[in-house]
Amino acid sequence: MAEDLVLDTAIRDWVLIPLSVVMVLIGVLRYFVSKLMRSSQSPDAKIVKEGQIIIRARNLRAGANFIPPKSFRARRVYFSNEENGLLYVPKGQAQNAQAQMFSDPNMAMDMMKKNLSMIIPQTLTFAWVNFFFSGFVAAKIPFPLTQRFRSMLQNGIDLSTVDVSYVSSRSWYFLNLFGLRGLFSLILGEENAMDDTQRMMQMSGFGFDPTKGLSAEKDGLDIVQHEWALPKFEQRAEAVLRKLVS
Amino acid sequence: MVSKTDEAQVNRLENQVDNGGGGAWEYLCLVRKLKLRRSDKVLKHGLSILNDPKKRSSLGPDEWTLYEQVAIAAMDCQCLDVAKDCIKTLQKRFLESKRVGRLEAMLLEAKGSWAEAEKAYTSLLEDNPFDQVIHKRRAAMAKAQGNILGAIEWLNKYLEIFMADHDAWRELAEIYVSLQMYKQAAFCYEELILSQPTNPLYHLAYADVLYTLGGLENIQAAKKYYASTVDLTGGKNTRALLGICLCTSAMGQLTKGRNKEDKESPELQILAATALERDYKQRAPTKLSLLTSTLRSLKL
């Protein structure tokens, strides 16, 4: 395009700035709402114990060579025997774990709360932006961009002739939605800034299987070759003492 | 484990605060962070902050943490009135808080009203069955009442869930040693060695237990663990050096009359004895004669 579009300054004052301010305010508000709704969940007995078992088994694997062979073998049997070993997971149970998690009403409730605090304000603001500010150009970025950015920056404008460096109001909303994370971490403190992209990642992480850690640890323990390190220490002690005495 | 730099910093700060140089709050923060037990100092300096309204209000929300810290320190020093005042202030601020409830139960315990404290702890555990502090308090309470077997029971119950807590393992090991249940103690020390394989103190304690258990195999193993202690401490541990001498002598007695093909090289204990003599000559010359006569009686 040869001639530039001239943007009304009223657009800046009544669209661009209000939109950004509203997005920030909504982010802050949502943070406080989710803080109110967060239930302090006490950890499940099984999960606590499994975590501890894994730590202890890992210690055993790492320090195996420091205890006598007999003690090591006793511990290995204790951890990984097929009847009631701590790390042994019965086959049927392993598959059920996920289903169990879904059937747990508390967990579902928590997920609901988390999602509600994310989805409701998002739909509302999107509807608001769509209703009031749809279909026009709100800003111009000061450098040229390639055609591929058109769908990102000119959402809501179906004109292929407009230069890509113009930003539509709806796209400005999206940019704000995903780009305000740094600002939130400034306002709300480092760890409190939870933007939507992160939450979405958390969502997809749901469905993780806690029994996997146990069986992985069991496999690791099964292949440990025990070689008592202590006989070597006698020679090392001799060397140390010889150095000390001489 | 407190690292050396941390300890030096604490001592420096403590010195500074003791001599009126300020920095009391930093000192208290550091003590809390490192979980040190310096109750008398904490009580003294904490109270001086709490009794000064200006200093206290300048802490902001940390004021309440300080109240808790001072309350626990006061209970440790048997200043129960101070502890009571602190807990009352906290109670007014935090109604129905579990954390304050824990402090109240601890106050009951400090007063020695065991039954009431027990009841309070039990009700707290019902709300939150994974409060490690309360589990440990219960074991400590049983021990304080002289109910050692009860303490063992609590610790075992605790370790069934929190089996990676090496402090609890150490406590259990020490209790077992005090009851002369050496096999159980040996198991606990093995667990401790697994959790911190480079800590020479665990090797030493394990060797002691093995030597006390007796039997050729155990004494051979004990000698190996004494040797590893020597290696890990750079030969500076007198107990480990003496342990090597004792083990060798005991092994000599046990294998007397048998064929000597599996006898180990005598070099280690000769070196250990020489190192001991050197050490005594340097640090306690008057006791050197005692050492030489002991070593001679061990036929080294």
Q: In terms of residues, how long is chain A?
A: 246
Angstrom CA distances, B118 to B79, B115, B123, B143, stand at 21, 5, 9, 13
Confidence of residue A179 (pLDDT cuts 50, 70, 90): confident
The pair of three-digit structure tokens given for residue B76, joined into one six-digit string: 């440790």
CB contact set of B9 (below 8 Å; sequence gap of 6+): B30
Angstrom CA distances, B263 to B214, B238, B252, B256, B258, stand at 18, 25, 9, 10, 10
Contacts of residue A45 in chain B, CB cutoff 8 Å?
Answer: 129-130, 161
Q: Total domain count for chain B? A: 2
**pLDDT value for B1:** 58
Mutate to test the interface with B, among A66, A70, A228 (most CBs of B within 10 A): A66
Final residue belonging to a domain, choices B70, B95, B120:
B95
Instruction: Select the highest-mean-pLDDT range: A33-47, B124-138, B185-199, B243-257.
Output: B185-199
Contacts of residue B188 in chain A, CB cutoff 8 Å?
Answer: none
**pLDDT value for B210:** 94
Q: Count A/B contacts: CB-CB distance under 8 Å.
A: 94
Instruction: Tell me the per-residue pLDDT of B243-283, one tens digit each, with 9 for 90 and over.
Output: 999 998 888 888 876 655 555 667 888 888 888 888 898 88
Cβ separation A63–B195 shorter than 8 A: yes
Instruction: Select the highest-mean-pLDDT range: A225-229, B11-15, B175-179.
Output: B175-179
**CB-nearest partner of A231 from B128, B129, B224:** B224
**pLDDT value for A198:** 54
- Cα end-to-end span (Å), chain A: 90
* Min Cα separation A60/chain B (Å): 6
A68 in B contact zone (CB under 8 Å): yes
**pLDDT value for A166:** 85
- Whether A57 is in a domain gets the answer yes
Residue B38 lies in domain: 1-95
Confidence of residue A113 (pLDDT cuts 50, 70, 90): confident
**Three-state SS for B231?**
helix
Q: Total domain count for chain A? A: 1
Taking a C-beta distance cutoff of 8 angstroms, is the pair B95, B126 a contact?
no
Final residue belonging to a domain, choices B95, B124, B139:
B95
Other residues' Cβ atoms within 10 Å of the Cβ of residue B60: 8
CA distance A215 to B111: 48
- Categorise residue B196: left if φ over 0, alpha if ψ from -120 to 50, beta otherwise: beta
Please give the biggest Cα pair distance in chain B.
81
**CB-nearest partner of A45 from B129, B164, B267:** B129
Mutate to test the interface with A, among B96, B201, B270, B271 (most CBs of A within 10 A): B271
Contacts of residue A63 in chain B, CB cutoff 8 Å?
Answer: 193-195, 197
The pair of three-digit structure tokens given for residue B40, joined into one six-digit string: 């008398």
> Cα torsion at B31, B175, B76, B199 (round to 10°)?
-10
pLDDT higher than threshold 80 for residue A1: no
Confidence of residue A207 (pLDDT cuts 50, 70, 90): very low
DSSP per-residue letters across A27-72: HHHHHHHHHHH---PPPPHHHHHHHHHHHHHHHHHHHGGGS-HHHH
B275 in A contact zone (CB under 8 Å): yes
Taking a C-beta distance cutoff of 8 angstroms, is the pair B272, B300 a contact?
no
CA distance A87 to A219: 9
- Whether A85 is in a domain gets the answer yes
pLDDT higher than threshold 70 for residue B300: no
Contacts of residue B224 in chain A, CB cutoff 8 Å?
Answer: 230-231, 233-234
- Whether A79 is in a domain gets the answer yes
The pair of three-digit structure tokens given for residue A88, joined into one six-digit string: 């042994």
CA distance B29 to B235: 37
Contacts of residue B130 in chain A, CB cutoff 8 Å?
Answer: 42-43, 45, 48
- Whether A120 is in a domain gets the answer yes
Instruction: Tell me the per-residue pLDDT of A34-76, one tens digit each, with 9 for 90 and over.
Output: 777 766 666 677 778 888 888 888 899 888 889 888 899 898 8
Confidence of residue A190 (pLDDT cuts 50, 70, 90): low
Residues B173-202 have a mean pLDDT of: 93
Final residue belonging to a domain, choices B45, B61, B95:
B95
- Residues A13-48 as b/e (b if ≥16 CB within 10 A, e otherwise) read eebbeebbeebeebbeebbeebeeeeeeeeeeeeeb
CA distance A207 to A14: 44
* Min Cα separation A21/chain B (Å): 31
**CB-nearest partner of A234 from B194, B195, B224:** B224
CB contact set of A163 (below 8 Å; sequence gap of 6+): A1, A5, A144
Strands A166-168 and A137-140 come out as: antiparallel
- Burial (0-12, 13-18, 19+ Cβ within 10 Å), B83: buried
- Whether A70 is in a domain gets the answer yes
* Min Cα separation A44/chain B (Å): 9
Residue B180, φ and ψ in degrees, nearest 5: 60, 30
CA distance B202 to A106: 44
- Which of the residue ranges B35-49, B82-96, B255-269, B280-294 would you say has the lowest mean pLDDT? B255-269
Computed over every residue of chain A, the mean pLDDT equals 78
- Whether A2 is in a domain gets the answer no
**CB-nearest partner of A237 from B165, B221, B227:** B227
Locate the chain B residue with the closest alpha carbon to A40.
B128
Interface of B with A in 201-260 (CB under 8 A): 221, 223-225, 227-228, 230-231, 234-235, 244
Instruction: Select the highest-mean-pLDDT range: A116-130, B1-15, B101-115.
Output: B101-115
* Min Cα separation B168/chain A (Å): 13
- Whether A148 is in a domain gets the answer yes
Confidence of residue A92 (pLDDT cuts 50, 70, 90): low
Between A100 and A227, the higher pLDDT residue: A227
**pLDDT value for A206:** 46
Confidence of residue B212 (pLDDT cuts 50, 70, 90): very high
**pLDDT value for B240:** 92
User: In terms of Cα–Cα distance, which of A20, A18, A40, A24 is closest to A185?
Assistant: A24
- Whether B205 is in a domain gets the answer yes
B131 in A contact zone (CB under 8 Å): no
pLDDT higher than threshold 90 for residue A161: no
The pair of three-digit structure tokens given for residue A193, joined into one six-digit string: 């800034």
Contacts of residue B132 in chain A, CB cutoff 8 Å?
Answer: none
Residue A232 lies in domain: 9-245
CA distance A178 to B43: 50
Confidence of residue B185 (pLDDT cuts 50, 70, 90): very high
- Whether A3 is in a domain gets the answer no
**pLDDT value for A2:** 44
- Whether B108 is in a domain gets the answer no
Confidence of residue B235 (pLDDT cuts 50, 70, 90): confident
Confidence of residue A115 (pLDDT cuts 50, 70, 90): confident
Torsion sign across C-alpha atoms B18, B22, B24, B30: negative
**pLDDT value for A240:** 87
**CB-nearest partner of B130 from A42, A230, A244:** A42
Confidence of residue A93 (pLDDT cuts 50, 70, 90): low
- Whether B246 is in a domain gets the answer yes
Please give the biggest Cα pair distance in chain A.
92
